Amino acid sequence: MRRTSSLLLALALALGASACATGGGPRSAAAAPRPAPVSPRQAVVSVIVNGQDPDFGSPWVKGEAWQRRINGLVVEGKRILVHARRLANRTLVLVEKSGESKRYEAEVELVDYEVPLGLLTVKDPEFWEGLEPLRIADEVPVEGDVTICRWLDSGQFEEARAVVKQLRVSTHFPGTTQLLTLELSSPINASGWGEVVVSEGEVVGITTSSAEDTLPTLAAPVLRQFLEQAEAGTYRGFAGHGFAWQRLTNSALRQRLGLGPDEGGVRIREVLGYGTAAGVLKVGDVLLEINGHKIDERGKFKHPEYGRLYFDVLFTDGVNPGDVVDVKVLRDGARQDLQVTLQANRPDDGVVPRYVIDQSPEYHEVGGLVFMPLTFDYMRQWQGWWENGPLYLLVAIDARNANPTRPGERMVVMSKVLPDAVNLGYADLGALLVSKVNGRPILGLDDLRAALKAPQDGFHIIEFDPGQSASRLVLDAKAAEAAAAGIHQRYGLPDPQ
């Protein structure tokens, strides 16, 4: 009996001590109840984007108005993270939540088409009731199943299974920045419109496009880096390395360059005249290491979490424009340690802008001749333009785009001729690269406008690059000026400013 009483007393004392440690006084943080997990339904919203694209064939008009429905992710600070490509040339952005039909007007707080990601805000406090941010994962899965979450037009919420095919480094249209990308496989219909991808209750990516059953997806580290920069209030974008490179898998080539049998590296074959590599790296350099990561002969390195990836991501993942990156190169037989300062990719750095978004195309018209800067948007008038566009334009882009001779340099193209008596005989000409106007070299529309103020003996003389369907045109300057009002009225051009 005494033994039993002693055991009971000891047990009571132990329970009392435990109660004092955990329950006597304020509840400790460790014992606090865990918050209920956020449902994707609370974090994913519908975004309705209205817009109107310019017409690069007739740059003074716009195409038909359109409306697109995409998905958005609620993030901290009462903002919505979206795939930015769908915001291009917008006129009005509306949002819906929880499958309801009520719409709220949204404002674009930040957009970066190079990534491409954007942030929306909604002023009406009613919109945020019942919505909660879903945590963005620190890392992403390299295999296994994930869930694609989206609101359908019908107001139903869809959760579809997808499989991770691979983790790779890729660009996302319209940008050219190399980013960490999940490649998913899913039979989901009409996808690639900014669907939110979830794994184990956390966001691992946002889709950016689709091809058959493949969904390229911006990986969570990219989303986090974008949001961290935005939160800091000093958004700098994402960097690019600014050079083209060649694999070194051939043993004879490697030996000729002076590489050891167990040494990796890639050869730099072109350095852009702008960007991160300009003024530091040279054609012929062999890139051996980046921030201590050794590069193999195929251009890959060993990522600590994700295995072998292409080195391009070392210029974007966890680093921002303005940061300094250490590189080791083999140059003229000697190994050198260098540093480059990261610079953001910009669409208009080259001679030919990669895209013109949220603004009207620039043009100038005289005597019915329409002149424009050559852009990739202009080239997209030809279906499969990289194969079907005018050959002389493709050759010129390849030869001149990478290294402008001055800031803002542009190739100017006479895009079309609006038939009029003043330009009789020229109506079937178009898509011609301009070389000179009135004897002055043309490296942009400002040059062209200035040259047109100085006709030669009363005539405008337009000269084109060799190898095209015409070498020069001549316009009577006074006749062209007199015809301006009639041409503008007939073809719907606005009067010149």
Q: What is the CATH number of the domain that holds 156?
A: 2.40.10.10
Which of the four pLDDT bands, split at 50, 70 and 90, describes residue 26?
very low
Supply the mean pLDDT for the chain. 91
> What per-residue confidence (pLDDT) applies to 497?
52
Please tell me whether residues 250 and 164 are part of one structural domain.
no
**How many other C-beta atoms can be found within 10 angstroms of the C-beta atom of residue 486?**
13
pLDDT tens figures, 390-414: 999 999 999 998 888 888 999 999 9
Please tell me whether residues 228 and 245 are part of one structural domain.
no
Q: Which residues contact 191 (CB under 8 A, 6 or more apart)?
A: 148, 150, 207, 210, 215
Q: Is residue 159 part of a domain?
A: yes
Please tell me whether residues 371 and 487 are part of one structural domain.
yes
Q: Which two tokens stand for residue 173?
A: 């249209």
- Is there a contact between 376 and 357 (Cβ–Cβ < 8 Å)? no
- How many separate domains does the chain show? 4
Region 275-283 average pLDDT: 95
What whole-number percentage of the chain has pLDDT above 90?
A: 85
Report the length, in residues, of the chain. 497
> What per-residue confidence (pLDDT) applies to 407?
87
Q: Which two tokens stand for residue 486?
A: 């009639």
Among residues 213, 232, 251, the one where a domain terminates is 232
Match 């994930």 to its residue by tokens.
Answer: 146
Q: Is residue 244 part of a domain?
A: yes
Please tell me whether residues 394 and 454 are part of one structural domain.
yes
For the domain that residue 303 is a member of, what is the CATH number?
2.30.42.10
How many angstroms separate the Cα of 439 from the Cα of each of 75, 285, 365, 479?
57, 41, 19, 20
> What per-residue confidence (pLDDT) applies to 33?
54
Q: Is residue 61 part of a domain?
A: yes
Which of the four pLDDT bands, split at 50, 70 and 90, describes residue 11?
very low
Q: Which residues face 51 on adjacent strands?
A: 66, 90
> Above 90 in pLDDT, residue 150?
yes
Measure the CA–CA gap between 174 and 354, rounded to whole angstroms.
Answer: 8
Longest dimension (CA), the chain: 128
Please tell me whether residues 52 and 104 are part of one structural domain.
yes
> What per-residue confidence (pLDDT) applies to 8?
36
pLDDT tens figures, 183-215: 999 999 889 999 999 999 999 999 999 998 899
Please tell me whether residues 214 and 323 are part of one structural domain.
no
Region 165-184 average pLDDT: 96
Q: Is residue 353 part of a domain?
A: no
Q: Is residue 185 part of a domain?
A: yes
- Tell me which of 189 and 159 has the higher pLDDT: 159
Please tell me whether residues 374 and 476 are part of one structural domain.
yes
Q: Is residue 412 part of a domain?
A: yes
Which residue range is the domain that position 226 belongs to? Answer: 145-232
> Above 60 in pLDDT, residue 5?
no
For the domain that residue 434 is a member of, what is the CATH number?
3.20.190.20
> What per-residue confidence (pLDDT) applies to 6?
39
Please tell me whether residues 218 and 249 are part of one structural domain.
no
> Above 50 in pLDDT, residue 31?
no
Among residues 72, 99, 128, the one where a domain terminates is 128
Q: Is residue 7 part of a domain?
A: no
Rounded to 5 degrees, what are φ and ψ at 474?
Answer: -130, 130
DSSP assigned state of 129: T
Q: Which two tokens stand for residue 430?
A: 């178009």
